[in-house]
């Protein structure tokens, strides 16, 4: 574990994982009293930005936050694909969800971000087990803002992200 207030790192047999705490908002719930599927995409986006994008001056961020993005930087990060497998409804809770993240693949200009959305770490069982609500994958492509052409991942990005590379998610409908 790290003393980083934004994220914790856990070594697993398949590689390291980032743990990003993401609080729920009451508005994330739908009429069935669980987190709406469109809200889940926003929660994953928030975790991804906190984990990988450079912070503003004075903000805390994990060591993986090395990606420069935005029109002012000349670099865009575009979503090429997303997939979510819902395993259980996410009820509203005051403790932040534990979004665990790693890379299934580091490509030339793309990254495959893998997630497990878990129950809050504060509510884990005595053995440390948590409820897994969803698994997801997002393929992000780094692009030149002016030309729209893919940009290669930098050596700094690869160095920061390589320790978090692990097996990609295998979804139940593909197993």
Taking the model in full, what pTM does it have? 0.89
Say if residues 160 and 63 touch (Cβ distance below 8 Å): yes
Mean pLDDT computed over 12-36: 85
Indicate the pLDDT class of residue 175, thresholds 50, 70 and 90. Answer: low
Name the burial class of residue 104, with classes exposed (0-12), middle (13-18) and buried (19+) by CB atoms within 10 angstroms of its CB: middle
Q: Greater confidence, 83 or 33? A: 83
pLDDT per position as a tens digit, 31-81 = 887 888 889 999 999 999 999 999 888 888 899 999 987 767 899 999 999
Q: State the pLDDT at residue 2.
A: 39
CATH topology of domain 8-163: Thiol Ester Dehydrase; Chain A (3.10.129)
Helix residue ranges, H only, 17-63: 37-52
Indicate the pLDDT class of residue 6, thresholds 50, 70 and 90. Answer: low
Q: Greater confidence, 19 or 26? A: 19
CA distances from 50 to 60, 64, 81, 148, 172 (A): 9, 9, 19, 24, 28
Mean pLDDT computed over 119-144: 92
Q: Which residues, 6 or more positions from 79, have their beta carbon under 8 angstroms from its beta carbon?
A: 138, 139, 140, 141
Mean pLDDT computed over 91-107: 94
Whether residue 144 is predicted with pLDDT greater than 90 in this model: the reply is yes
Q: What does the DSSP 8-state code read for residue 42?
A: H
Show me where the domains of the chain are located: 8-163
Whether residue 15 is predicted with pLDDT greater than 80 in this model: the reply is no
Can you count the helices (H) and strands (E) in the chain? 2, 6
Say if residues 151 and 144 touch (Cβ distance below 8 Å): yes
Which residues share a beta bridge with 67?
53
Going 91 to 97 to 98 to 104, the CA torsion angle's sign is: positive
Mean pLDDT computed over 12-25: 87
């Amino acid at each position: 574990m790290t003393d980083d207030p934004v994220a914790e790192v856990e070594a697993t047999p398949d590689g390291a994982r980032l743990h990003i705490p993401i609080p729920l908002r009451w508005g994330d719930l739908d009429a069935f009293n669980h987190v709406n599927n469109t809200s889940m995409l926003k929660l994953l986006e928030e975790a991804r930005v906190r984990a990988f994008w450079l912070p503003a001056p004075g903000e805390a961020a994990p060591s993986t936050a090395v990606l420069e993005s935005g029109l002012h930087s000349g670099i865009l990060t575009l979503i090429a694909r997303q997939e979510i497998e819902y395993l259980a409804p996410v009820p509203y809770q005051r403790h932040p969800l534990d979004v665990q993240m790693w890379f299934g693949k580091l490509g030339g200009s793309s990254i495959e971000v893998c997630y497990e959305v878990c129950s809050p770490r504060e509510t884990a069982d005595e053995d440390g087990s948590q409820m897994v609500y969803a698994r997801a994958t997002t393929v992000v492509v780094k692009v030149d803002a002016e030309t729209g052409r893919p940009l290669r991942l930098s050596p700094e990005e690869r160095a920061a992200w390589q320790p978090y590379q692990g097996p990609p998610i295998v979804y139940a409908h593909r197993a």
